[in-house]
Chains A and B, each alone.
Chain A
């Protein structure tokens, strides 16, 4: 291969580094001694630390290659401010969820080194998704992520619930992938290209070029596939079962990084190649958004398992984020980005609290088990209260601003119905968030949880709670990058 045809690797440097690091970690894991339980645990702990280190280094690389828009690999791979923002969020979410997972894994004899590697492998897939500029690279990244996640969901393979979750996720995920592929092939068939840049130019002709029906149907299929990944209604059905069945750290991981990556892809695809077809897909997104908000709010009310409740909560949150996409303008995307930034910390913090729900070395998952937490562990109770209030969107906590920006975007775009329904469902949603606070503070105390809270979890809880409370003081730390990212997506 002549040197001149060698693709420019600089834009993809973080991904390349991550891929190499994963392979290296895999070698290290295999060659380190795992013959006894003690050794296995030590190995897994070392890999765990190295995985986190790798994520941190990748994040640093992402920041160094930031800047203007760059294409590589024949235009299949793109990097810009938007990608940087999203990648940092994904890496942060993955790193934080990895941080809080160690104790759970070790305590439930899941301390195998593959866990950390699978996590960052999925993360690599997500980074690819964010930078995808072609239907093919989109699909490859998505599948790389999904396959890792299927394994992670079934990671506790000696437990029925976990394997069931993994299997369900795999079967339905395969179906969704099929839809996505089918949609991609339709679009390729009717437009003759898979490249986003070319597509965008083609559809940008506006009035004199009406997209053919096949393209539109292809878009709907792609939409369905992406909606599955972010668990938007009506493609959400796997979420509660998988969230409940998967090991709790995996659930935390599911709730954060893939959601962000999925929404990043959503934004990239809908505003990029199909940006000028906004009239065609807007109503579908509006419908999906409303359905997600409503279902997320109502179905969560009857849940007794806190992980299941968080599943519905995440469905609702996706609904709110989709409001910003439905608006389809730069303000809307800006709202989504702010929302996702806050959502990441909020969710990680909540799951860190859930991981503290241990009684006699065993995890408990019922909401009623939280009774009396305020007496036995007042600090943890306070942190959980902050997260719940934030999720309910009560000012001055950060969660309020997340909702505020997407609702504002909807109002500006005169999508009043969307904003009103969003407000109503957040009132309904407040019911179950506040119920947890009620249980924590006012219900008759049961047996206290195990006191020992490990240092990583304490760190994550404190950090997230502090961000929820103090966001109002320094909002620019999140708002400015989000604004830059949003304008980058619109070719700025």
Chain B
């Protein structure tokens, strides 16, 4: 069962990939049928895979039958042994549902969205390939296999961001995503090495079993002693930060919106970016033994949460707003993990996957309707024209803002409550940042809604005349996701974070006795429970005032608080800062190494220089050949004399 779930997408990807080659040069009718066939194959495989995941969820998560399915030995070198194995426990089962569920919906949605594209089989192949790597990542039973999936999703992400490779911005964004992720992956790789140094193994079960024994180990780095587990955890967390776009390594995510919208929904909202959260939760038996690492996770998560939310308030590109929102929500998940409420983080991950995918796909439907317009300033007044999409976007936003009874309400509240209940400095910091971010979330969500759907139409007439509801093949998946966004919260609350939490998660997540944040979350004061809802409401009202009641207010405010506005609008100048600190010096260094180092020095002395020297020597040698017999005879005599003299001096002497 689990092998089918994991490998069906791979098989589909290979078949669709072959079709992509077959399509090349085929006539119109034939290429159309190839497109259809590739869509059938990939969507069919994903739906089967999703069905399998649901059955696994019931068996493993609800039935409590976790197992590891060994495929084969991968690397066997001395004491270093790594196998291909699929580890299935509650955590994996939950992720399986999220990944295959969202992925299959996105696959179906893509049939409609990519209708006009000339590279349908290639797109479907990439999507399925991504799904396979993601499944490989979440079913990994050792760190190396996880790294394999980790790099694989990075590759698929790169391919899909740059899917429209004729667009320079798409190429730049793809490269940026890849390079920034490389920083994180480097940390991850170092983390794996570090783990191997400590545990002599990369096998998860072995590590988890041995972790308590290594709690007080130290590791010498640059002749300074550090707590070994802290080092390992922090390095691994750097990897998570890269993949999950946390503060510092977040810059690639907004740019990744250059990819087709279904890609944004699948990879850059629901699944891949949550891999970091998943990793931290998966490694909870290690992270639990390092308070420092957990504190860092909390601070980074909380800071990202508020940081991204402030930026989202001023962006005008509909997808970028949602992208920053994603970034901010990932912050919630991280600080939940940071206060040892891993299950709350995964809970938020799950609900977020549904409503964020819904929002992205809804935004895609809007963009589709507006003839590929993404700027919200050129939208407005279309809610009557596309009522279904409008309603679905409402559901998504309600869930995002945490309004009951939508899914986000449950998960975000438990995250905030756990942060408060942690009763530590960083926990409290996270709580207040999260609360502020919740206010901003509600504000920018409704800002998005109002700007997109309400007010006077700001698009030109041709576009407005063309505005139309999306086809059923696109609306259908949205309805499924909307159902999830509405129901996922209260259906799963009890199992994920409520009373059945211990038996549901089983051994998948470890929380030490001295980290009782989730336990205590139930007993927080009422004002803590209510405050997220209140600030959410205030945010919505504020958005209403600014964008419906007094539409001239935002401009005036931007004028009044110009520095703050500019700061937010320009994304806190992080990109500019990186450009100055890393990109330009790197380019300069590269150019110097290329022109001076390689061109002048290595080529000059090496290949070119040697070639020049050879030619010169050749000319000299040829010049000896004068053609005169007496020169030649003289040469021979000299030769004999030289040989005899040399002999007399070396041997006979």
**Chain A residues within 8 Å of B, Cβ to Cβ:** 167-168, 171-172, 175-176, 179, 213, 216-217, 220-221, 223-224, 228, 234-235, 237-238, 240-241, 279-280, 283-284, 287, 295, 298-303, 428, 431
Contacts and interface: CB of A to CB of B under 8 A. Distances in A.
B617 interface: yes
B618 A302 contact: yes
Interface stretch (B165-173, B357-365, B633-641): B633-641
B652 A301 contact: no
Interface of B: 614-615, 617-619, 621-622, 624-625, 627, 629, 631-633, 635-636, 638-640, 642-644, 646-648, 650-652
B622 A302 contact: yes
A237 B648 CA distance: 25
Nearest to A217: B644
A284 B614 contact: no
**Residue of B615, B619, B632, B652 most packed against chain A (CB within 10 A):** B632
Contacts of B624: 237
Contact of B632 (A216, A220, A238, A303): A238
A283 B622 CA distance: 26
Closest 7 CB pairs of A and B: A234-B639, A237-B632, A301-B618, A299-B621, A302-B618, A224-B640, A302-B622
A435 to B, nearest CB: 12
5 contacts: A224-B639, A234-B638, A287-B643, A298-B621, A301-B614
Contact of A220 (B618, B638, B643): B643
Contacts, number: 82
A431 B611 CA distance: 10
A298 B622 CA distance: 9
Given A299-B622, A302-B622, 11 more contacts: A168-B629, A213-B648, A220-B644, A237-B625, A237-B631, A240-B625, A279-B651, A280-B651, A283-B647, A284-B643, A428-B614
A327 B635 CA distance: 27
A429 to B, nearest CB: 11
B632 A295 contact: no
A118 B624 CA distance: 32
Contacts of B638: 234
Contact of A237 (B618, B636, B644, B652): B636
Contacts of B636: 172, 175-176, 179, 224, 228, 234-235, 237
A130 B582 CA distance: 75
Nearest to B613: A298
A431 B610 CA distance: 12
B263 to A, nearest CB: 45
Contact of B652 (A179, A216, A287, A298): A216
A170 B615 CA distance: 32
Contacts of A280: 647, 651
B647 A235 contact: no
A411 B635 CA distance: 32
Given A179-B640, A213-B652, A171 B621 contact: no
B647 to A, nearest CB: 6
A302 B617 CA distance: 10
Contacts of A301: 614-615, 618
B615 A175 contact: no
Contacts of B629: 167-168, 171-172
Nearest to A303: B622
A296 to B, nearest CB: 10
For the residues of B in contact with A, the DSSP-based class is helix
Nearest to A227: B639
Contacts of A216: 647, 651-652
A330 B614 CA distance: 35
A223 B652 contact: no
A326 B607 CA distance: 32
B633 A172 contact: yes
A220 B614 contact: no
Contacts of B622: 299, 302-303
A240 B635 CA distance: 15
B614 A283 contact: no
Contacts of A171: 629, 633
Contacts of A220: 640, 643-644, 647
A216 B636 CA distance: 18
Most chain A CB atoms below 10 A, which of B618, B631, B652: B618
Contacts of B615: 301-302
Contacts of A240: 625
Nearest to A210: B652
B640 A221 contact: yes
Contacts of B650: 283
B637 to A, nearest CB: 8
A428 B618 CA distance: 11
Contacts of B621: 295, 298-299, 302
Contacts of B631: 237
A175 B633 contact: yes
Contacts of B643: 220, 223-224, 284, 287
Nearest to B640: A224
Q: Which of B625, B636, B638, B651 has the most CB of A within 10 A?
A: B636
Contacts of A235: 635-636, 639
Contacts of B614: 298, 301, 428, 431
B632 A298 contact: no
A221 B638 CA distance: 12
A285 to B, nearest CB: 10
B619 A241 contact: no
A217 B622 CA distance: 31
B16 to A, nearest CB: 41
A450 to B, nearest CB: 31
Contacts of B618: 298-302
A103 B399 CA distance: 95
Contacts of A241: 625, 627
A238 B624 CA distance: 12
Nearest to A216: B647
Contacts of A221: 640
Give the interface centre of B619, B621, B631, B648 by most chain A CB atoms within 10 Å: B621
A299 B621 CA distance: 6
A302 B619 contact: yes
Contacts of A168: 629, 632
Contacts of A217: 644, 647
A190 to B, nearest CB: 14
B642 to A, nearest CB: 8
A179 B614 CA distance: 34
Given A234-B636, A235-B636, A241-B627, A298 B617 contact: yes
A237 B636 CA distance: 8
A176 B629 CA distance: 13
B232 to A, nearest CB: 48
A240 B622 CA distance: 10
A301 B642 CA distance: 27
A216 B651 CA distance: 10
B627 to A, nearest CB: 6
A447 B652 CA distance: 61
A455 to B, nearest CB: 37
Contacts of B632: 168, 172, 237-238
A228 B635 CA distance: 11
B132 to A, nearest CB: 42
B279 to A, nearest CB: 50
Contacts of A279: 651
A217 B640 CA distance: 10
Contacts of A284: 643, 646-647
A279 B650 CA distance: 11
A303 B642 CA distance: 28
Contacts of A431: 614
A77 to B, nearest CB: 29
A221 B636 CA distance: 11
A213 B651 CA distance: 10
A223 B639 CA distance: 11
A223 B642 CA distance: 13
Contacts of A287: 643, 646
Contacts of A223: 643
A307 to B, nearest CB: 14
